[in-house]
Amino acid sequence: MFSIKGSKKTIFVNLFVLLLATGVFFYAFFIHDNSKPLRYLAIFGPKEYESKNGKVDTTYHTVPNFHFTDQDGKVITQKDFDGTIYVTDFFFTTCHSICPVMSDQMERVYNKYKNNKEVKFLSHTVDPEIDSVEQLKAYALKHNAQNGQWHFVTGEKSELYGIARKGYFLDAQEGDGGPDDFIHTQNFALIDKDKRIRGYYDGIDSSDVDQLIRDIELLLKEYHFKERK
């Protein structure tokens, strides 16, 4: 038997859904600024606080300067990353466990942003005695890093290990970079244009690397939004 009460209830529900959808559409296209990131990434690392005139200023950790040599024999410093965000990791070319997977995942991200001048990649060897410039060049070519956007670097072991631990906080173990010291981390770090750490990702987990790609998009949008203001 036809129910007027039930019919009215259905009409009411449909009308409510229609109004809700209209409101969402109106907000998305007329009120919300679509150029603004939906969220901002956290900033990692130690922080310092200073109170001035009743306001608290926060100073965030920044990655210190470095001097390494890449696969083309070029000296690489932080200046080479000015105006860009970058993804960094630590590996060695003779590794047969996690490093091949990490490099394949990094290559996937690199291919996504190939020729995007705002995104770079920095892979450090943890075995500089073996990973010469020539060795790194062959490894870079294996992963199709040919345009100067992805740097594979070597240098003094103590400096490589120091920046891994105190610059990027990618290894929690104590060490001095001596002959018996060794770092083997599978994590990537995302660094912003101000040299601050904005995320950590498991480099052998494809879903975590998918999140890295999404976070790169958010970080780029954050800077584009700031530049428009």
68-110: per-residue pLDDT in tens? 999 999 999 999 999 999 999 999 999 999 999 999 999 999 9
* pLDDT per residue as tens, the chain (229 positions): 445 455 655 665 566 556 665 554 444 444 445 667 778 999 999 999 888 777 888 999 999 999 999 999 999 999 999 999 999 999 999 999 999 999 999 999 999 999 999 999 999 999 999 999 999 999 999 999 988 999 999 999 999 999 999 999 998 888 888 888 899 999 999 999 999 999 999 999 999 999 999 999 999 999 999 888 6
pTM of the model: 0.83
Q: Which CATH number is associated with domain 58-228?
A: 3.40.30.10
Q: What's the chain look like in SS3?
A: CCCHHHHHHHHHHHHHHHHHHHHHHHHHHHHCCCCCCCCCCCCECCEEEEEECCEEEEEECCCCCCCEEECCCCEECHHHHCCCEEEEEEECCCCCCCHHHHHHHHHHHHHHCCCCCCEEEEEEECCCCCCCHHHHHHHHHHCCCCCCCEEEEECCHHHHHHHHHHHCCCCCCCCCCCCCCCCCCCEEEEECCCCCEEEEEECCCHHHHHHHHHHHHHHHHHHHHHHHC
